[in-house]
Every structure is written in C-alpha cells, then in structure tokens.
Amino acid sequence: MVLSQYKVLKSFKLFVTPSRNMHLLKKEGYIDGKWVKANNNAVFSVLNPADDSVIAEIPDMNDTDAKNAIEAASKSFQTWKDTTAKERSYILRNWFNLCEKHSGDLAEIITAECGKPLVEAKSEIVYGNSFLEWFADTARHINGEIIPSPWPNKQILLTRQPLGVVSVITPWNFPFAMITRKVGALMAAGCTCVIKPSEDTPLSALAAVSLAEQAGVPKGVINVITSSRKNVNTVGKVLCEHEKVGCISFTGSTVVGKILYSMAATGIKRVALELGGNAPFIVFPSADIEHALDQAMLAKFRNNGQACIGANRFLIHEDVFDKFVNGFKARITQKCVLGPGTKEGVTCGPLVNNAHVKKVADFVNDAISKGAKVLVGGKVAKNLGDNFYESTLLVNVKPDMKLYNEEIFGPVAACLKFKTEEEVLKIANSTRSGLASYVFTKDLGQSFRMSRNLDFGMVAINDGIMSAAEPAFGGIKESGIGREGSKHGAEEYTDIKYTLMSGLDK
C-alpha cells in the first residue's frame, strides 16, 4: 500500500514546539509581498487532528483582507503578464528546487495539520513538486495558432493571453499539491492569484508560499488569505464576485462548487472546478485478482479514503466476488494500521476533523440499518481518539443506502456483485458524479469498450493510481469543469485573442 519508504518520525513532541522544529511554519497571511495579520487582528486555531492540540494561531481574515489581496494581485498582474515565458519558467523552476530541498520540512507540516502518515505526506510533496517542474517547462510552450485565411490579402492569428487575477480555493486533503497544481499552472500562463486555503490546513499553503517568495516570485503575484469557518462565506463571496477577479479555481465538494459557480455567474467569470466523485472500481473475471487487490488498497485507502478520486463502489463480477472480498478483507486487516501520522508503521491516520468522522459513521450506520454486513471495521477507534475511524469493508450494499449514492470520502469500501458488462455500466453510470473510474480486465476489447462507455472524465485500466502532472485531470457531469495538469491545465488560465491582419497586398 505504501508508495515509497521514508524514515518516519516517532514522537508527537515534533508538534509541541513547532517554531523550533518546523521552521517553515508561518503564522501570518501573505499580501503584496508582506506577511500580515488580519486587519482586525483576529486569529483562529489550527488543530492537529490526531489529538486536537493547537499547532498555531493564524489570522482570521475577512472581506476587507480579501479585497486588499485582490487589489495587490491586480496591480501585480499589470507587470507579471508582460514577463517573458522564459522568466516565468525560471522562477517556477527555482520554486520547485526549493520545495525539493525542503520536502521533509513541508511534509512535517502536512502531517501536523492534515493527519496523514509522514510517509504519505512526503509522497504528496513529490507529487505536488511534479506540477511545479511540469509547469516550469509548460510556460514556454503555451502557443497560439496561425490559421489559413479565406482571404488572399489577410492573415488570421490566434494568441493566448493570461486572463488576470485567479481566486484559488483549495481543500484540506492534499494541502500542498492542490496549491502547486493550480498556482504553477496560472503563473505559467502569466496570471496572478489570491489563495484561500482550507481553514483546516492553511499552514501547508503558507509554507509553500514562503518558499515561492524565496524563489523570487514578485510581490503581489501570489497572495494568501487565511480565515476560519466563521468568515468563509463573506470571503468566498468577495473572491467570486470582485470585479478584478477573472477566474475562480476551486477543488472541493460539489455542493460548495455549485454555490461558487452561481456567484461567479454574476460577473460571467471563468471557472475551473474539480468537484466530488463517486468512483466505481470494476473487476471482471479475466482480471489478475491479486493485482486488482493491490490496486484496490491504493485506490481506497490512499489518504485514508479522503481523496476525490478514491474508489467509492467496488463492483465485482459474481464469478470472482468471493475471492476478491476475502482477499480484500485480508489485506485491510494486515495493511491498514491506524494511528497518529508520526508513529512508525502507521498507514492510516485520523480523519481531518470530528465532523467528518460523524459523516462517515452516519454512512456506515445507515448501510447497516438497511442490511449491509460489516466484514472489517465499522466504527470509531475510540482507543486512539475521536477522529480515528476503522478501515471498513461492507457487503450486501444496496441502491437505497447513502454510501451507494454519495461520496464516502473516508476509509469505507462497499462491495456489490454484477453479472454482465451491460449491468455494471448501468450501475457505474447511475450517478451525477463523473470524475474517476477504475476497470480491471485482461480483455483488450473490453478495456476499450469500458473506456468509451463509462461516463467519467478519467478511466484507469488495471491501475488504482492515475494522478500525475502530465495527463489532463478532471471530470464531467457534476464533477467539475476544466482540466488540471498537462498543457490544458495552463491553458485554462488563458483567453484566446483573434487578430485579423489585413491589407497584406498593399
């Protein structure tokens, strides 16, 4: 289940004195190249989900701070947009190099505020850094077009130009990688931004931006405002509706995405939305079952199930259902080690907060009350703390259960049987979500049919991990608009300008 091995820190003492042990820990927002407090000096606490201890108190910014940050980004855009692609590439490469150098420091902060095991946090840094490296190269390849003209004396030019200030609103589950994936792309295109990180995990964003500052990112190009849940609505409104914002880039739940989309509509603003999923994990009789089980562990229990592309419904052909379920149960029992992220050997940390624990528990309890059977787990691990939920495997799952229809976003695997390819396509596509999907088969024709017929933006054949900087990441239906990563990720932050050159015969 573990992607790579690292030396894991063994003590919570790391987070008792964070100023000494986490030197990238920042306790202020970042506006116009300055580390600042909230305009009213308000603060809120960032908690360690493993034990709910306070890591730091940081500014609880409001709509006034948001407006100041947008003004700074707008002013900086006037010069940043005219920097050469080569210069933007150079700065992004510097930022990448510094993040590589400080990967251990960044990982410690992620584990402290997000809860994921340090091994996984370091894997996130590798993943997040890959976007800075990719967009450093992509900056020099955002090209236009020359189109054959229907007129003999005219030439048609299409050029890509940066669209302006981008409001970047990021989630808590990948607090570093979601910053680099968005900000690397928009900077490569020549845009500036205001980042609003999750109130649960703002410290990773602040640490990343402190390294961006050291890398030579000009003041005002990147700004970070931090706020508690109390101010989320007012800050979000400013970030979506301010006249100087050209685009809203958001990763999070579909419910919140719809709210932001409606706000953006008042100004006809561009949106880049990466929203929730309900990913099917489909196993056919021809599949290599042992390989499918290994990949199922990755697809389900990466970040303890708190991933938008995490497998939600395990659809297993009846001929191999028992074999798969028995193997899955054995792997979960052996490999899902629950505990604080700093403890050696732990593979599954706490969920991000107690509200999320209650949501996952409600999904499982609802399923049990309607006939689902628990094979492993199924309850809060109270011996570890209030935010730990056991890795869970359910069978006898039916369509009237919440976890059948909604994204679980936790360490709960729900298994269902199917008989035919037609039946499983109907089940898989019976959702308004359309982000990721997984198929396991050795039948080449079946692989292509499933790729064509699954109503999802991404299809992984015989693999449980699909995220990287190179492919275009994104969903269809209610799972989002636009793509991240690849050259398309940078092009999301550009407008196409049509220039007609006439009079060439004069």
- Please report which residue ranges of 171-222 form alpha helices under DSSP H: 177-189, 202-214
367 CA to centre of own chain: 27
- Please report which residue ranges of 51-117 form alpha helices under DSSP H: 63-80, 85-101, 103-114
Contact assessment for residue 447 and residue 288, using Cβ atoms and an 8 Å cutoff: no
CA pair distance 431, 448, nearest whole angstrom: 21
Are 93 and 180 within one domain?
yes
The two beta strands, 270-274 and 43-48, are unpaired
Residue type present at position 306: Q
Residue type present at position 325: V
> Which entry of 108, 113, 213, 274 is annotated as an active-site residue?
274
CA atoms within a 13 Å half-sphere pointing along the CA-CB vector of 321: 15
**Computed over its alpha carbons, how large is the radius of gyration of the chain?**
23
Task: Tell me which residue range forms the domain holding 429.
Answer: 279-468
3-state helix, strand, coil in the chain (%, to 5): 40, 20, 35
Express each pLDDT in 401-457 by its tens digit: 999 999 999 999 999 999 999 999 999 999 999 999 999 999 999 999 999 999 999
**Which pLDDT does position 21 carry in this prediction?**
52
Are 436 and 287 within one domain?
yes
**Which pLDDT does position 436 carry in this prediction?**
98
Residue 12 pLDDT level (bands cut at 50, 70, 90): very low
CA pair distance 415, 272, nearest whole angstrom: 32
Name residue 146's beta-bridge partners. Answer: 157
Express each pLDDT in 208-229 by its tens digit: 999 999 999 999 999 999 999 9
Express each pLDDT in 241-287 by its tens digit: 999 999 999 999 999 999 999 999 999 999 999 999 999 999 999 99
Task: Judge whether 192 lies within some domain.
Answer: yes
Are 271 and 336 within one domain?
no
Contact assessment for residue 171 and residue 352, using Cβ atoms and an 8 Å cutoff: no
Check if 274 is active-site. Answer: yes
Q: At residue 23, does pLDDT exceed 90?
A: no
Helix (H, G, I), strand (E, B), or coil: what is residue 209?
A: helix
Contacts of 148 (CB under 8 A, 6+ apart): 156
Are 187 and 326 within one domain?
no
Name residue 161's beta-bridge partners. Answer: 495
**Which pLDDT does position 315 carry in this prediction?**
98
Are 373 and 256 within one domain?
no
Express each pLDDT in 116-174 by its tens digit: 999 999 999 999 999 999 999 999 999 999 999 999 999 999 999 999 999 999 999 99
CATH number for the domain harbouring residue 431: 3.40.309.10
- Can you read off the two tokens belonging to residue 499? 């220039």
**Which pLDDT does position 505 carry in this prediction?**
87
Per the structure, the count of domains in the chain is 2
CATH number for the domain harbouring residue 99: 3.40.605.10
Helix (H, G, I), strand (E, B), or coil: what is residue 334?
A: helix
Q: At residue 8, does pLDDT exceed 60?
A: no
3-class SS letters over 458-475: EEEECCCCCCCCCCCECC
Are 490 and 439 within one domain?
no
For the chain, the average pLDDT equals: 94
Residue 7 pLDDT level (bands cut at 50, 70, 90): very low
Are 248 and 361 within one domain?
no
The two beta strands, 222-224 and 192-196, are parallel
Express each pLDDT in 373-406 by its tens digit: 999 999 999 999 999 999 999 999 999 999 999 9
Task: Judge whether 503 lies within some domain.
Answer: no
Are 27 and 83 within one domain?
yes
Are 65 and 144 within one domain?
yes
- Can you read off the two tokens belonging to residue 359? 């949501």
> What is the average per-residue pLDDT within 76-87?
98
**Which pLDDT does position 238 carry in this prediction?**
98
- Can you read off the two tokens belonging to residue 252? 């999070």
Q: What does the angle CA 251 – CA 133 – CA 475 come to, to the nearest 5 degrees?
A: 30
Are 77 and 124 within one domain?
yes
Containing H/E element for 156? strand 155-162
Express each pLDDT in 295-311 by its tens digit: 999 999 999 999 999 99
> What is the average per-residue pLDDT within 288-297?
98
Contacts of 335 (CB under 8 A, 6+ apart): 1, 297, 347
CA pair distance 15, 176, nearest whole angstrom: 18
